[in-house]
Structures are given as structure tokens and as C-alpha cells.
Amino acid sequence: MKLLILLLFITTLYADIKEKMFTLYQNKEYEKVCTMGFDNLKRYKRDEEFVSLYAFACLNSDYIDRLAVPSAVLKFSEEARANAAYFSVILMQKKLLYHSLLDGYELSELKLPTTDYVLSKVFDLYAKLDKHKKRPFYLFEDPKDKKLTYKLYLAKDYRITKMVIEEFYDTMLIKRHIYW
């Protein structure tokens, strides 16, 4: 009987965590969902809905490096594999773009899949530049919306150089993405 009560309690606790994460996600509190998912990932890494929710929250809060584990564990359903591929592409593009900006790695010859995520858009636009001299920043116009522009640059921190993408609509800054 005690085992049954304990099992019921654990099941309820698990449902509460997942439900709370989903509610926070719907309220666009992505950073909280990402943190909560990170804290509970070890326990629920076989639950592909949980892992996908965690990964999309991390993506929406620009914690791109946290996509590595979901990319590896999402494999049992078609939807999970599609999500894993999506996360893998974005993580790879982030790493390659950062490598290119810091070390001059040539991207123009690479033919990679793309996504609708802002980092992917900027990666594609940057890769089309071919060989070029390093610049302090790069400005790109969105091919689908001429009022939307992206500014790409490196910001030196006391510990690490960060890659920054700023999104502008007309001339108004609408979002700043910082990656390292």
C-alpha cells in the first residue's frame, strides 16, 4: 500500500512539473522553462514531449548550447527525430558562425540545411558573403521582409568573446541575441 501511495505521489509530481513547464511556455516564460527542464532533464530524458518542450524553451531563450543533449536523446518517434535534426542544425550553425567570426573559417562552400530561426537566417546571409576581410560588424537585410535587418558582431567580454545578433524592424531594435 505504501508503495502504491509513493508511486501515485511521484506520478503526480512528474505531471505537475510537466504541466507547470507547459503553462510557463504558453506564457512565453522560456528562460524559466529552460531552467526547470535543465534541472529535471536527468529524470525525464526518456519523455520526448518533456525533452522537446525543454529544448524549444532553451531555443527561444537563446540557450543554444543546451540543445546538444536533446539532439542526442530525441530518437524514438518521427516528430522527435525531426526536432533533434532541427536543434542539431541550429547548434551546428551557431558553432560554425562563431568559428568563422573569430578564426576566419570559410563558410561559403558549405551547403547546409536551414531553419526559420534567426541564427539560421543570419548564418545563411553571412555564408553568402564568400571570402571577405573581417569587419567590425555585418548588416544583413531579410530577403522576405525588407524592413527587417540583422546586425552581426562580436562583443568582447572579460572572460569570453560573444557573438551578438541584433534584429531591427525599420530602425528600431526589437531583439538582441547573445551567444557564446
In sequence order, the 6+-apart residues with CB closer than 8 A to the CB of 137 are: 151, 152, 153
Q: Is residue 144 part of a domain?
A: no
Q: Is residue 177 part of a domain?
A: no
The per-residue pLDDT for 71 is 97
Look up the CATH number of the domain holding residue 105: 1.25.40
Q: Is residue 85 part of a domain?
A: yes
The per-residue pLDDT for 7 is 39
The per-residue pLDDT for 133 is 86
For residue 153, list its beta bridge partners.
137, 164
The per-residue pLDDT for 132 is 80
Q: What total number of domains does the chain contain?
A: 1
Instruction: Name the nearest CA neighbour of 155 among 101, 105, 103.
Output: 101
The per-residue pLDDT for 15 is 62
The per-residue pLDDT for 82 is 97
The per-residue pLDDT for 152 is 99
Q: Is residue 146 part of a domain?
A: no
Q: Is residue 15 part of a domain?
A: yes
For residue 162, list its beta bridge partners.
155
Q: Is residue 9 part of a domain?
A: yes
Measured CA distances, 86 to 12, 18, 72, 78 (Å): 31, 22, 12, 12
Q: What is the domain extent for residue 18?
A: 2-131
The per-residue pLDDT for 6 is 37
CB 32 within 8 A of CB 58: no
pLDDT tens, the chain, 180 aa long = 444 343 334 444 456 899 999 999 999 999 999 999 999 999 999 999 999 999 999 999 999 999 999 999 999 999 999 999 999 999 999 999 999 999 999 998 888 899 999 999 999 999 999 788 889 999 999 999 999 999 999 999 888 999 999 999 999 999 999 998
Q: Is residue 151 part of a domain?
A: no
Q: Is residue 175 part of a domain?
A: no
Instruction: Name the nearest CA neighbour of 48 among 92, 27, 91, 18.
Output: 18
The per-residue pLDDT for 123 is 97
